[in-house]
Amino acid sequence: MDNFTEQLKKVLSAIWKFIQFILKYLLIGARHVLKFLNDKKHLYAIPLFYLLITSLIIFVAVQVYQNYIYEDVEDTYTMDFSNLDDVEEEPEYDFASYDFDGVHVVIDPGHGGYDPGAVSQSGLLEENIVFEYADALRDRLLESNAEVTLTRELEESSELDERGIEGDLFISLHSDTFEDPGIHGYTVHYAHDFQIEFAEAITDGMAVHSPMYERGIRENGYQVIWQIDYPGVLVELGYLSNPIDDYILSSYEYKHEIVEGLMLGISNYID
């Protein structure tokens, strides 16, 4: 017992000496710092003054912005989707007249079946949204004497290889999501140089009718348009992660406006 007590005293004594050593050099360092600050006031006083003034200005600006200027995004983008299921039938619209006799258009509603695609803020699936647009576009094309083929029907699955159907024009429809809900608008993609002219015509047609922001034309090697050897485009109709695009893509009125944009684009290209 006496031996243990002696060992404990030695350990505690060593710890205390170590603490004293640390405190000694901390005090020495503090004295040097204070001496430097006292002797070199002319070096840091003015910069420190400007730093404090700048910090004060930034603080005041942030407070003014947060309290008087900033509007919460949730307040800015307020959409009511509660009545979407209450619409029993679509209203009638006056459409432009086209004659696409002899033109075979292949419409590809993106995703489908086991691959539902993105989910909108209102809980709708991309596969169903784009199929509605594809179906409405098919009706308009048939009314305009075109031959139309869909790569899939509602809730059907179709492999990418199976979507490479021969035709004169190919349109693949999608509605993606993005991490940033502020990203919005439609984009037209092409895979080959010989598809650029068709992509430009579709973009110009959409610009006339679509209420969405035009994000332009982009080259991308998406398989559905890369695997075909005739004019084709992949159209991202909008971003379901954006509340405005989500609302527009779920609206009967805007659906027909966007379809008319596609029709005008086809007409511009054919003519």
Q: What percent of the chain has pLDDT over 90?
A: 53
Q: Is the pLDDT of residue 192 over 90?
A: yes
Q: Is the pLDDT of residue 171 over 90?
A: yes
Other beta carbons within 10 angstroms of residue 101's beta carbon come to 9
pLDDT value, residue 208: 95
Mean pLDDT for the stretch of residues 93-106: 91
Q: Is the pLDDT of residue 53 over 90?
A: no
Q: Is the pLDDT of residue 156 over 70?
A: yes
Of residues 173 and 54, more confidently modeled = 173
What are 223-233's pLDDT values in tens digits?
999 999 999 99
pLDDT value, residue 10: 80
Query: 28-37, 170-179, 188-197, 258-267: which range is least confident on average?
Result: 28-37
pLDDT value, residue 64: 74
Q: How sure is the predictor about 250, in pLDDT bands with cuts at 50, 70 and 90?
A: confident
pLDDT value, residue 74: 40
Domain map (residue ranges) of the chain: 2-69, 93-270
pLDDT value, residue 34: 76
Nearest residue to 215 (alpha-carbon basis) of 186, 244, 253 = 186
In angstroms, the CA 228 to CA 92 distance is 36
3-state DSSP assignment of residue 242: coil
Could you write out the three-class secondary structure of 134-171? HHHHHHHHHHCCCEEEECCCCCCCCCHHHHCCCCCEEE
- The single residue listed with the structure tokens 């084709």 is 232
Q: Is the pLDDT of residue 88 over 60?
A: no
Report the DSSP pairing between strands 186-190 and 232-239.
Answer: antiparallel
Q: Is the pLDDT of residue 93 over 70?
A: no
pLDDT value, residue 21: 83
93-270 classified as CATH 3.40.720.10: no
What are 4-49's pLDDT values in tens digits?
777 778 888 888 888 888 888 888 888 877 777 677 666 667 777 7
